[in-house]
A and B are shown apart, each in its own frame.
Chain A
Amino acid sequence: MRKRVIFWMTFIGGIYFFLEFMLPAEIWLPQSLLTWLKGDGTGPLARNMLGDKGFIFGGLHEDISNGAIITGVMALGLGLINIMRLHGVRLAKLRKGWVHSAGLIAGMLITIFVGFWHWGSPESVTGKLYGNIIMGTRGLFPGLSSAMFSLLAFYVATAAYRAFRIKSGEAALLMFSALLVMLGQIPHGVVFFDAIFRHGPLRDVSIIDIRMWILKKLNVGAFRAISLGFGVAGLAMATRMWLSMGMGSFFQDEEGK
């Protein structure tokens, strides 16, 4: 029973968006039928779903989309419940690390409170707290986010030092092409390349053009192939999800059927 309910809900939920794309904008109807359905033209069917030539399947698309967005936003509550369950219990029972849990919960509650109250004036206390301290361009949150992102610069350097070793012909080719691409986009690289190859057969060749050739001719084909591959796989998987085919234990009843 449960599996059947899930199947039909999934199918009905998915079929709208599938048909909305696959069917034409207006599905032709005989004029007499169209006129009869329209009536005096004031009803919701006439206003949203009937055009000059026929039936508009996506006439209520905006309303359906808004409903889908609202449903998705409600999932935020699930995250809140998990945080309170995990960190609230740790705080209540004063387990190891309770201070950090207290900080997390306090920060979360302050941000929620200020986020709601800042709908008022940006000049109000909560407005300034939100705009200047928490979320502004020089606020806490953007600053912390930028700091975490900046770690990548250091990690890229150590990862490159650790992993980029020429152990085979392919590795050498890969490293050489990576070097050309790197040098072709930085001012020092252009100066460096021009200085070395100023007199010689490559004097009229620009490292910028070499970089563009690698990106346009070599790279595009490889990326497109990978994209096509997982595009087809994604299509097949999405269709199976929609039709609830072989989706594993989450959709099975106790007998595993």
Chain B
Amino acid sequence: MPGVQHASLAMWVLAAALLGPVFLFIMLARRGRKLYIRRIPGIDAIEEAVGRATEMGRPVAFTTGLSGVGPLLFAVLGVFGRVVQLAARYSTGLFVAQNNPEVMAIVEQVMRDAYQAEGHPERFDLSMIRYLSGDQFAYASGYMGTVHREKAASCLLFGHFAAESLILAEAGQQVGAMQVAGTIDSTQVPFFLTSCDYTIIGEEVYAAGAYLSRDPVQLGSLRGQDVGKLIIYAIVFTGVVIATWYGIWGTAHEGYDLWLSKMLLPPPN
């Protein structure tokens, strides 16, 4: 198998095929076309979680996990913005545990803007944002301690998580908090499923921002991604048919010698 250092023509075509529908549906959404998005129970539960914390007079704990600055963080900020908006409106306690200083700066700005938009800038306090540690387990230890001391009523865990996911989720379990988690890390989803009330899996995290804001650009992007996935399924199906055909009536090796198969990989120098 050769290495891939620069894109081949097929990769250009694939990139266009995956991104083209995204731009198309963004354009259509901006022009007013209504786009349907199915209900995601975990996202609906976020408002319930903040409401629960407000009634109990205990804070909401939010964490972005080990997320760095990247596409996932920006998807999570869509959810985070909504949570902060509700917390500002109902004067609910909120603390945000942080692992990454760059993310912390972005989170601070989002919080300021949300409190400002709700007309309560005086309710924003910098001590709501707690940079715990850049180390995975020091951060988990800090989060556990904070949740136990503050007796959080709701815990919202959105972002990248690794081995510390169960530690974080169990901390909320032990204080009886309502927990909603969302991650694209498939290996951590089982831990969240056992310890959290609602779990948002994989690309539903990316859909969460669109679901909450109903922003045309985000909805259009979501719809375009679905079309992109259909294109990938078509490619996979074509490959399965070719492999099966040659597996039965030829040799498997011949299938890889087809021009279509060779197109996907760049030619060796």
Q: Which chain A residues have a beta carbon within 8 Å of chain B's beta carbons?
A: 21-25, 72, 75-79, 82-83, 85-86, 141, 144-145, 148-149, 151-152, 155-156, 158-160, 162-164, 223, 226-230, 232-241, 245-250, 252
Contacts and interface: CB of A to CB of B under 8 A. Distances in A.
Contacts of B117: 249
B135 A232 contact: no
A229 B203 contact: yes
Given A21-B6, A85-B126, A250 B109 contact: yes
17 contacts: A21-B6, A22-B12, A86-B126, A86-B130, A145-B135, A148-B167, A155-B167, A164-B194, A226-B202, A228-B229, A236-B19, A237-B72, A241-B71, A246-B26, A248-B78, A250-B110, A252-B113
A239 B206 CA distance: 13
Interface string B218-254: 1001001100110010000000000000000000000
A89 to B, nearest CB: 8
Interface of B: 5-7, 11-12, 15, 18-19, 22, 26, 70-72, 74-75, 77-78, 81, 98, 100-102, 104-106, 109-110, 113-114, 117, 126-127, 129-131, 134-138, 140-141, 163-164, 166-167, 170, 184, 186, 191, 193-195, 201-203, 205-207, 209, 213, 215-218, 221, 224-225, 228-229, 232, 269
A230 B202 contact: yes
B206 A233 contact: yes
A247 B74 contact: yes
A218 B232 CA distance: 20
B165 to A, nearest CB: 9
Given A144-B141, A236-B206, A239-B22, 7 more contacts: A25-B6, A76-B134, A82-B131, A145-B136, A159-B194, A234-B71, A249-B114
Contacts of B22: 236, 239-240
A228 B226 CA distance: 11
A83 B101 CA distance: 10
A22 B201 contact: no
Contacts of A75: 100-102, 105
A132 to B, nearest CB: 19
A210 to B, nearest CB: 20
Contact of A232 (B11, B26, B130, B225): B225
A230 B182 CA distance: 13
Given A148-B141, A152-B167, A237-B221, A162 B6 contact: no
A230 B184 contact: yes
A73 B81 CA distance: 27
A26 B117 CA distance: 50
A164 B228 CA distance: 36
Most buried by A among B104, B131, B215: B131
A155 B19 contact: no
B114 to A, nearest CB: 7
B258 to A, nearest CB: 22
Nearest to B201: A226
B167 A25 contact: no
A160 B77 contact: no
A140 B40 CA distance: 44
Contacts of B186: 223, 226-227
B131 A83 contact: yes
Given A226-B201, A249-B117, A148 B140 contact: yes
A229 B72 contact: no
Nearest to A151: B167
Contacts of A245: 26, 217, 221
B129 A82 contact: yes
